[in-house]
Structure 1
């Protein structure tokens, strides 16, 4: 019998961690929406932030893991890994490029920012380390597939800024801040490089840490049995 404290989707510490992520994330986003409504800000701008989008994706993934601990589709491990990479990188980019040193290192920060930029990224990283995937990830394929969303986000932001309502979500994406399009090469390139490295690390950890679920066998073991037969 599996111990209730073993590191699986049904383990007590894992359930507690994921429930904390879900509650903290829902509370933070409700707080954000109340603030947006109270200040008369545009909802389209709020939802246009990568931080918000990655945190909403976390809520979907964590809720799915809590409600369906078994029998998830084969692609779910990759979605979980991508989500982990996005939210961890959200926290790192915020701390390095967007937050002041007092915000990044101190605790005098509004709850939604604390939860979405610091607490949830850390908890999701811990979850990725604690609970192995049920299938081995292909690192190269993960890098190529998981980078599609950040690249699409960059392109969408520039299209909206240049051809839409003119709104740019972050200073490092704004040509006006960097003296034109050419000035975006360095800051945007740094962010993209950080995403490639971060995604690769998350995928490598997932590849190393994977374990078959109870009742399943590793592909190599199945092949050996077929050959033996």
Structure 2
């Protein structure tokens, strides 16, 4: 198999995993399953609004969209695509790490909830990162892409805090100002922003020094 064939296959499998995880999670939300929610279960409209507010869901969606494009054309490029792809790779990496070290101990999941959780937080991050390292496409990252890529995660943090202050709902316990306090949440936000910037910078350095991939692309 050529490197472009491997790239198409890998990106296709990654996109499929993200799609399965997102659809399964949406079905669970509609069915009324609760994750990291205490107290009375909100109505369907509110649950759906919360669904799209999770960084996990948005990062998996970015992985799905950018992986589909790469599966169709392994050497895909474009100014917007570069930013979205970096956001997808870095966002899903942070998703996996934060979930594994901070959220996983809080969850008591079984059945389909457990399986879906593992797809979104383990399977998709692993497939995405390994795929990006092995089949790219690259080079694609510049300093401008890194800086533009910060708009999404920082914007998500700002919107999340504004919505939380307005409605009292926060997608993750470590962002709950009412419980943790403003100073503690501010520290968490700065730490997350620095972590995302660090991963983006590392991705930029790797992208510059690693060999270009894929090769032998057939359109």
Question: Shorter-chain TM-score: what band?
Answer: 0.7 to 0.9
What TM-score results when the alignment is normalised by the length of structure 1? Answer: 0.77
Distance 1:214 1:188, change over 3 A: closer
Answering whether residue 66 of structure 2 is matched by residue 88 of structure 1, we say: no
Query: How far apart are the structure 2 equivalents of 1:212 and 1:55?
Result: 23
Unaligned runs of 5+ in 1: 216-229
Count of residue correspondences: 201
1:134–1:213 CA contact under 8 A, matched in 2: yes
**1:21–1:123: 8 Å Cα contact kept in structure 2?**
yes
Secondary structure of the equivalent of 2:28?
helix
Higher relative contact order (CA 8 A, sep 6+): 2
Shift of 1:36: 1.1
Aligned match of 1:100 in 105, 109, 115?
Answer: 105
Q: Could you tell me which residue of structure 2 aligns to residue 203 of structure 1?
A: 204
State the shift of 1:90 in Å.
0.9
**Counterpart of 1:48 in 2: which secondary structure?**
coil
Distance 2:174 2:107 in 1: 20
Instruction: Give the C-alpha shift of residue 31 in structure 1.
Output: 1.1
| Alignment correspondent of 2:68 | 63
Query: Does structure 2 conserve the Cα–Cα contact (< 8 Å) formed by 1:136 and 1:210?
Result: no
RMSD of the TM alignment (CA)? 2.6
Match for residue 172 of structure 1 among 171, 174, 179 = 174
The alpha-carbon deviation at position 64 of structure 1 amounts to 1.1
Contact persistence 1:45–1:169 (CA under 8 A): yes
| Residue matched to 1:219 | none
> Paired residue for 1:192?
193
**Counterpart position of 1:73:** 78
> Residues 105-184 of structure 1 correspond to what in structure 2 (within 5 A)?
110-135=114-139, 137-138=141-142, 140-163=143-166, 165-178=167-180, 180-184=181-185
Structure 2: stretches of 5+ with no match in the other structure = 33-42
